[in-house]
Amino acid sequence: MTASTFQAVDPTTGLAFGDQITEMSASDVSGLISKAVATKSAFAATTPSERAAALRAIGAEIESRREKLIEVGMSETALPNGRLTGELSRTVFQLEQFAKLVESGAHYQAIIDRPNAEWVPAPRPDIRKANQALGVVGIFAASNFPFAFSVIGGDSASALAAGCPIVVKAHPSHPNTCRIMGEAVIAGLKKVGISSDTFALVEGINPEITHWIASHPDITAIGFTGSGKVGKILMDISAKREVPIPVYAEMGSLNPVFFSPKSLAEKAVDLAKAAIDSATLGSGQFCTKPGILIVPTGSEGDAFIAEIESYLATIAVAPLLNKGIADRFSSAISGLAKSSSLKTFAGKATDGGFGVTPTVFVVDWADAFKNSELLEEHFGPTTVIIRADFAKFQDVAGKLEGQLTASLHVTAGEDVAKLVEALSQLAGRVIMNGFPTAVAVTAAMQHGGQFPSSSSHTTSVGLDSIYRFLRPVAFQNFIDALLPPALQEANPLGINRITNG
């Protein structure tokens, strides 16, 4: 029997603290979804400026709770102030970015094709197409981004921007942060006169909640950021529904980083520091953490590996987010450390609570598949250095599973076109002379790559993430007044539309 209440846990001590939070039941969840459904038509019909105002009002309500959010966020996640301050700013910034997008009307992708007698094999009637909101979206908050991919993070912001009511599963690793964010969302919606039922927060630690939300007939899409295991459960639930729905799951990724010998010859020390900083940022709990570094055999690679070893020895990280993550990390690391074909480097231990020791493994490419754990994602401060002949880098890329990102350090003039092509087939984002952590919220961002790193080719970061929650509908030969405003002849929304191509 599931506990009827739960509490937050302090990652620095492992001890529970704060309010007893009541576990929601199946009927609680179903009731929240029904209330959200009742707001569906009205919310989808809000104008771009009303929708933008709502997103901005939510942003303002978040800002007005900044101090409290940072304080509670730190106590629940052990992430440092600087990181959470930046993440909160990003969260408000991305709401503003979506507000601007919605105001522009670009998300309607409105196309008007007027009647054309020349069409083959029959004259073309008047056809107009625009995107409209899918309906109520189920969103699962991520543990590792308590603001930017939690209650009103990227998935929620893009779904609301699309005109979809959202039912958000709070993350039990930061339940009080979720509550404050939920209050901000509701306050923002109320301020602009939108029903607060457009948003619902689902609280609990019962894994059945995932099924209650994802299998509910009124849920029309899922936004998820988390483990491959849960992502695949969501995909399976959808496939078994009477009406399958799109599941946008951003799952694990190794984010390979390839180093050419020349790039290492130029700046081995800087690159070693930057690689370890990226791999241990946020205690290594980013989906874009570089989980494997592909280093050329030979003297440049060996020197780089030596730099990594000595720099790592100086590094300690904040405790991990929760017991599950810490236990899985420790078990994977101690398992790998026993393997005879691996060399192991260690950083400084963090004691108490969910503290761990940053750890780097070194393996030759020929041995990389001997241990199935080696090429799996391990959430936490670890990365695997794979030593391979530079001439074989393309083969390495070809053997890896789909990734969110792939990075490549080269110097100008090196002939790596074939490797770049392989990396562009491997990942959604290819980075040159940089590291994959830090994902800009911008139009050109692609965060979502090839399976198993994500469930589809869409992006979960950046403006195009809105298209996950929209569907095109064409209107043929319509009486103008009955068209959606985005398609009416007088263009009452004043948006850009493509007419007759």
Active site residues: 250, 287
185/203 Cα distance (integer angstroms): 16
Single out the residue of 367, 321, 333 nearest to residue 9, CA to CA: 321
Residue 197 binds to its own copies (criterion: CB under 8 A): no
* Closer residue to its own copies, CB minimum distance, 235 or 321: 235
Residue 394 binds to its own copies (criterion: CB under 8 A): no
Among 121, 229, 338, 391, which residue interacts with its own copies (rule: CB under 8 A)? 121
* Closer residue to its own copies, CB minimum distance, 78 or 112: 112
Residues with Cβ within 8 Å of 382's Cβ and at least 6 positions away in sequence, in order, are 279, 284, 291, 329, 332, 333, 358, 359, 360, 361
152/446 Cα distance (integer angstroms): 20
Residue 477 region, left (φ>0) first, then alpha (ψ -120 to 50), else beta? left
Residues 24-43 that bind its own copies (CB under 8 A): 41
Cβ atoms 181, 151 nearer than 8 A: yes
Q: Which two tokens stand for residue 136?
A: 């109520």
Residue 465 binds to its own copies (criterion: CB under 8 A): no
- The 210-239 site mask, x for binding its own copies (CB under 8 A), equals -------------------------xx--x
Amino acid symbol at 117: A
Alpha helices in 378-427 (DSSP H): 393-399, 417-426
- State residue 299 phi and psi, 5-degree precision: -65, -40
Residues 429-458 that bind its own copies (CB under 8 A): 429-434, 438, 440-446, 450-452, 455-457
Residue 58 binds to its own copies (criterion: CB under 8 A): no
* Closer residue to its own copies, CB minimum distance, 67 or 242: 242
* Closer residue to its own copies, CB minimum distance, 165 or 353: 165
Among 399, 424, 494, 496, which residue interacts with its own copies (rule: CB under 8 A)? 424
Any idea what DSSP says for residue 494? -
Residue 369 binds to its own copies (criterion: CB under 8 A): no
Residue 416 binds to its own copies (criterion: CB under 8 A): yes
157/137 Cα distance (integer angstroms): 11
Residue 113 binds to its own copies (criterion: CB under 8 A): yes
Among 37, 53, 78, 112, which residue interacts with its own copies (rule: CB under 8 A)? 112
Residue 1 binds to its own copies (criterion: CB under 8 A): no
CB of 23 vs its own copies, minimal distance in Å:
31
Cβ atoms 147, 453 nearer than 8 A: no
Residues in binding contact with its own copies, number by CB under 8 A: 75
Single out the residue of 310, 306, 284 nearest to residue 295, CA to CA: 306
CB of 51 vs its own copies, minimal distance in Å:
17
CB of 102 vs its own copies, minimal distance in Å:
13
Residues 74-93 that bind its own copies (CB under 8 A): 86-87, 89-90, 92-93
Residue 117 binds to its own copies (criterion: CB under 8 A): no
Strands 257-259 and 403-409: parallel
* Closer residue to its own copies, CB minimum distance, 1 or 412: 412
Per CB under 8 A, the segment of 59-67, 111-119, 150-158, 307-315 that binds its own copies is 111-119
Per CB under 8 A, the segment of 118-126, 180-188, 206-214, 284-292 that binds its own copies is 118-126
Per CB under 8 A, the segment of 12-20, 136-144, 173-181, 466-474 that binds its own copies is 466-474
18/11 Cα distance (integer angstroms): 13
Cβ atoms 196, 111 nearer than 8 A: no
Q: State CA 296 to chain mean position distance.
A: 31
How many CB atoms lie under 10 A from the CB of residue 492? 10
Cβ atoms 105, 495 nearer than 8 A: yes
Listing DSSP states for 229-244 in one string gives HHHHHHHHHHHHSSS-
* Closer residue to its own copies, CB minimum distance, 181 or 356: 181
430/397 Cα distance (integer angstroms): 12
CB of 21 vs its own copies, minimal distance in Å:
29
Q: Which residue has the tokens 């236990």?
A: 327
Single out the residue of 172, 387, 375, 359 nearest to residue 284, CA to CA: 359
454/460 Cα distance (integer angstroms): 9
Residues with Cβ within 8 Å of 491's Cβ and at least 6 positions away in sequence, in order, are 497
Among 128, 171, 289, 378, which residue interacts with its own copies (rule: CB under 8 A)? 128
Residue 323 binds to its own copies (criterion: CB under 8 A): no
* Closer residue to its own copies, CB minimum distance, 350 or 455: 455
Q: Which residue has the tokens 């791999």?
A: 279
Among 473, 489, 492, 494, which residue interacts with its own copies (rule: CB under 8 A)? 473
Residues 245-264 that bind its own copies (CB under 8 A): 246
* Closer residue to its own copies, CB minimum distance, 124 or 190: 124
Residues 272-291 that bind its own copies (CB under 8 A): none
Residue 395 binds to its own copies (criterion: CB under 8 A): no
* Closer residue to its own copies, CB minimum distance, 383 or 450: 450
